[in-house]
Chain A
Amino acid sequence: MTRPARFLVRVGAMASKEVMHIRRDPRTLYMALAMPVVMLLIFGFGVSFDMDHIPLVVLDGDRSAASRALVRAVSAGREFDIAADSDEPTALRMIRRGQALVALAIPAGYQRELAAGRDGEVQLIVDGADGVVANQILAKIDGLVRAESLRRIDVAAEPPLQVKVFTLFNPEARSALFMVPGLAVYLLAIAAVLLTALTVSGEWERGSMEQLFASPVGRLEIVLGKLLPYLGLGMLQLLLVVAVGAVIFDVPIRGSATLLFLAGFLFLIGMLGQGLFISVVARNQLVATQAGALSSLLPSLLLSGMLVPIENMPRILQVLSSVVPARYFVHAMRGIMLKGSGLSILWGDLVALAIFALAIIALATARFRRRLA
């Protein structure tokens, strides 16, 4: 038999053995296929940055027609609900207890000042414990108060300047559209790294790695035989996650699905390679699981741009994020799914993903000594 034929036989033997392991281990299948879908559903439904019905305390010191008009303007929509109409100590207590997030204080003489043609000043007390929430409240109130002041100037008149906002790609500002592509990346990263980290370190623990080393199976054959089945499983997982996003969360794929799966393919090789590298170094399942979870979970959650925009990070973290493959895949996923970006925009991401994949596989293979010491 020729050398290439033997190579294929060995890779095939490794891969089909791995497929048998996977089919016989419900935990692997759960981790690869069920867990990402369950997590996607939980996060997709549970995590929303869109705020409605924010509890508001009114401190009306004026009790006039004008103050009542302002309160009505603020509370008419679905954004704010009046939790109480009270005094300042009560308002502070409610905010401290979380029963209200914001208080609107209208001073006595508000109507008189307005009638005299001077500025009417109102005070806003916001719970700043959560910066994201506080910013949203400020933005919403600001809009409502602005509308009210325009109305007061002249009910009929059109303001001289009008800004009309068209939000591209996600006009309703739905969290799901923003979250699902990022989440998909995050879930794929964890599952891929953990799966390979477990399978290779399992061979060390079982002693079967020594048995393999005593046979003519080469390290590239072991690496390929281990990676290929999980690459297949990972692609299935990607398909499942994208399908759940499309069907349940209405996340579109405006760009090319082929491009999306190509990016996913490169990303998965990188993540599987990372798991392989960890288990080659760690040689035991416990350490490999910890290192695998930590090295995939934190960077793809925090440094990928999934939650925190990379532009807002300190310089050092920005640099660090440039070696996190999730960053490029999040960018590519959002580009393809929401903006319909094509290769001309995303080629950089694909190149970065390919470089990481090649580098980590080469590193894992190089570190993979076939001698025991």
Chain B
Amino acid sequence: MSELSIEAVHLSRRFGSFLAVDDVSFSAARGEIFGYLGANGAGKSTTIRMLCGLLAPTAGQARVAGFDVKSAPESVKASIGYMSQKFSLYLDLPVRANIEFFGGAYGLSGPDFAARADEVLRLCDLEQERNAITGSLPGGIRQRLALGCAILHRPAVLFLDEPTAGVDPVSRRHFWRFIRRLAHEGTTIFVTTHYLDEAEYCGRIGLMVDGRLVALDTPGALKKRYVPDRVLAVRGRNLDEAAGSLRGRPGIIAVEPFGAGLHLQVASTEWNADLVAAALTSAGAQAVEVEPGVPTLEDVFLAVVARPREAHAP
């Protein structure tokens, strides 16, 4: 038996004349971290809401934790954890009261729940803050609390909608370490983000553009497929004008500013570091240094988004 935690088949959602999610199909196995990437308004949250039983699909179907989201949304809700973009905590209440409330909402009570609440406070490193008023805490701690509230009932699938928005980098790192541990213990994670560096933590990534799932694979495979060419990182002076002379020459696929320098995508058959350095120097750049770069998911994302819409058809 294949252990599929999430299975979406031709899932669509229409709001009036606007097709927010357009014929999306994918699946996620138990214990997988499935990343869902896309620009704002690409349909990420709409997909999550359909999978959580919050929004009825216009067409298609989905099974989450073994239950159909259309016919058994209550069973779906009992087996998932959901952390929404705004964290949705009660800011006027203490940390511990939030934990107790959400536990009660999932029907947990008694000594077992008290023990579990303590465990979650410890897991999320919230023991110091247990009596603090939630609204007085910084974003990173609120995020841990929201996560804690979502895992109290040990859900089989955890949905995270932009879980790291507005959280500092150190907290984000801790957060992801924790998510990986949950996944390792068998929780399936479905996470949307627009931090592309974070997407590297995901086992597989789906890329949403205008409501359609246009790419779906592991980060490595996506890079190989969409950025097959050599990536070169260039540093130096007067690069901006010199970069213009490279654009449009055969074998030059992309010239993007990156930090103080440039990121180039070139066809490896025609260009290498020395040739690029020579070309830029002759175009007026000084102190040019060219190093082989590593393709990032940002490169993938830009490559996918830049392709004309027709090319996205499967």
Nearest opposing residue in chain B for A24, CB measure:
B92
Given A210-B84, A372-B54, A217-B49 contact (CB < 8 Å): no
Q: Do A206 and B106 touch (CB < 8 A)?
A: no
Q: Interface-forming stretch among A4-12, A114-122, A268-276?
A: A4-12
Q: Do B101 and A210 touch (CB < 8 A)?
A: no
Q: Which residues of A contact B108 (CB under 8 A)?
A: 9
Within 8 A of A (CB), among B86-128: 86, 88-93, 97, 100-109
Q: Which residues of B contact A12 (CB under 8 A)?
A: 104, 109
Q: B78 contacts which of A9, A210, A213, A216 (Cβ < 8 Å)?
A: A216
Q: Interface-forming stretch among A13-21, A92-100, A155-163?
A: A13-21
- Asked if A154 is an interface residue, CB under 8 A from chain B, the answer is no
Q: Do A17 and B55 touch (CB < 8 A)?
A: no
Q: Do B105 and A208 touch (CB < 8 A)?
A: no
Q: Do B82 and A214 touch (CB < 8 A)?
A: yes
Nearest opposing residue in chain A for B149, CB measure:
A211
A215–B52 Cα distance when bound, in Å, is 9
Q: Which residues of A contact B15 (CB under 8 A)?
A: 373
Q: Do A9 and B84 touch (CB < 8 A)?
A: no
- Asked if B77 is an interface residue, CB under 8 A from chain A, the answer is yes
A54–B171 Cα distance when bound, in Å, is 76
Nearest opposing residue in chain A for B82, CB measure:
A214
A215–B108 Cα distance when bound, in Å, is 12
A372–B45 Cα distance when bound, in Å, is 12
Q: By CB atoms of chain B within 10 A, which of A206, A215, A372 has the most?
A: A215
Q: How far is the CB of A103 from chain B (nearest CB, A)?
A: 62
Nearest opposing residue in chain B for A17, CB measure:
B101
A20–B90 Cα distance when bound, in Å, is 10
Q: Do A373 and B55 touch (CB < 8 A)?
A: yes
Within 8 A of B (CB), among A196-216: 206-208, 210-216
A224–B254 Cα distance when bound, in Å, is 60
- Asked if B53 is an interface residue, CB under 8 A from chain A, the answer is yes
Q: Which residues of A contact B49 (CB under 8 A)?
A: 372
Please count how many residues in chain B sit with their CB below 8 Å of the partner chain's CB atoms. Answer: 34
Q: Which residues of A contact B85 (CB under 8 A)?
A: 207
- Asked if A25 is an interface residue, CB under 8 A from chain B, the answer is yes
Given A12-B104, A13-B100, A216-B78, A207-B54 contact (CB < 8 Å): no
Q: Which residues of A contact B80 (CB under 8 A)?
A: 214
- Asked if B56 is an interface residue, CB under 8 A from chain A, the answer is yes
Given A10-B105, A13-B104, A21-B90 contact (CB < 8 Å): yes
A207–B15 Cα distance when bound, in Å, is 20
The residues of B with any CB-CB pair to A shorter than 8 Å are: 15, 49, 52-56, 73-74, 77-78, 80, 82, 84-86, 88-93, 97, 100-109, 159
The residues of A with any CB-CB pair to B shorter than 8 Å are: 1, 6, 9-10, 12-14, 16-17, 20-21, 24-25, 206-208, 210-217, 371-373
28 residue pairs A–B, Cβ–Cβ below 8 Å: A1-B109, A9-B104, A12-B104, A12-B109, A13-B101, A13-B103, A14-B104, A16-B101, A17-B90, A17-B93, A17-B101, A20-B97, A21-B90, A206-B91, A207-B88, A208-B90, A210-B54, A210-B84, A212-B105, A213-B54, A215-B77, A216-B105, A216-B107, A371-B54, A371-B73, A372-B54, A373-B15, A373-B55
Nearest 9 pairs of A and B residues by beta carbon: A13-B104, A211-B88, A214-B82, A6-B107, A207-B86, A208-B88, A17-B101, A216-B78, A215-B105
